Amino acid sequence: MNKKLYVISGSSGVGKGTVLKGFMAKNPDFMLSISCTTRKPREGEIDGVNYFFLTREDFQDCIDNDKFLEWAEFAGNFYGTKKKYIKQCLEEGKNIILEIDTKGALQVKKQMPEAVLIFICPPSYEALENRLRGRHTEDEETIQKRLNEAKTEIERGKQFDYQVVNDNLEIAIENLEKIINGERNNA
Ligand code: 5GP
């Protein structure tokens, strides 16, 4: 069967991770791509599971050697998806989901027009701010940076193939499933 690459973006605090987790729990034949980042691991994050944690030098080396399908700077750190990793997953017939920022998603679409871009939106900007602050994982400076990024991301999200509003978690998961099942049946 023809495997497609699904790319999911949403601004920080939109609950994208929770929607995706709910989707993955119901669809165990899907796997999340593991990205590279220069960000420090958060508590409980494991190298090679949540991310491949790289030094700036190693990340730069991958950029210079054209190893990334896409990469982006986000809130002061670099994030990227390795070409070889994605190629291998698709060749192995895996249903793979990339959870990346909007800039990276649009880069993927340019290189792989068959990729399906799905944007998870907050019900409102205020709802997004509340969620981000309620998480208590970042300091004020980081929150401000992320809120600024969020505005830009919501604008870019308008260019995506699909938008899913995360107001009610169960409905958001259902809508995501409908989109992906529809695309799978069209493959
Ligand atoms: P976090 O630091 O919260 O794990 O992720 C911050 C942002 O980086 C999120 O919007 C996430 O989707 C994005 N991100 C994670 N991995 C990648 C990647 O490989 N490429 C790009 N462009 N963005 C990524």
- The 3-class SS string of the chain reads CCCCEEEEEECCCCCHHHHHHHHHHHCCCEEECCEEECCCCCCCCCECCCEEECCHHHHHHHHHCCCEEEEEEECCEEEEEEHHHHHHHHHCCCEEEEECCHHHHHHHHHHCCCCEEEEEECCCHHHHHHHHHHCCCCCHHHHHHHHHHHHHHHHHHCCCCEEEECCCHHHHHHHHHHHHHHHHHCC
Which ligand 1 atom is nearest residue 153's CA? 10
| Residue 167 pLDDT level (bands cut at 50, 70, 90) | very high
| Residue 142 pLDDT level (bands cut at 50, 70, 90) | confident
The structural domains of the chain, with segments of one domain joined by +, span 5-185
| Residue 187 pLDDT level (bands cut at 50, 70, 90) | low
**Domain at 5-185: CATH code:** 3.40.50.300
pLDDT at 28: 93
Q: Which residues does a 6 A CB cutoff place in the pocket of ligand 1?
A: 12, 35, 39, 70, 72, 74, 79-81, 99-101, 104
pLDDT tens digit string along 97-110? 999 989 999 999 99
Q: Which of these ranges, 7-16, 25-34, 177-186, has the smallest mean pLDDT?
A: 7-16
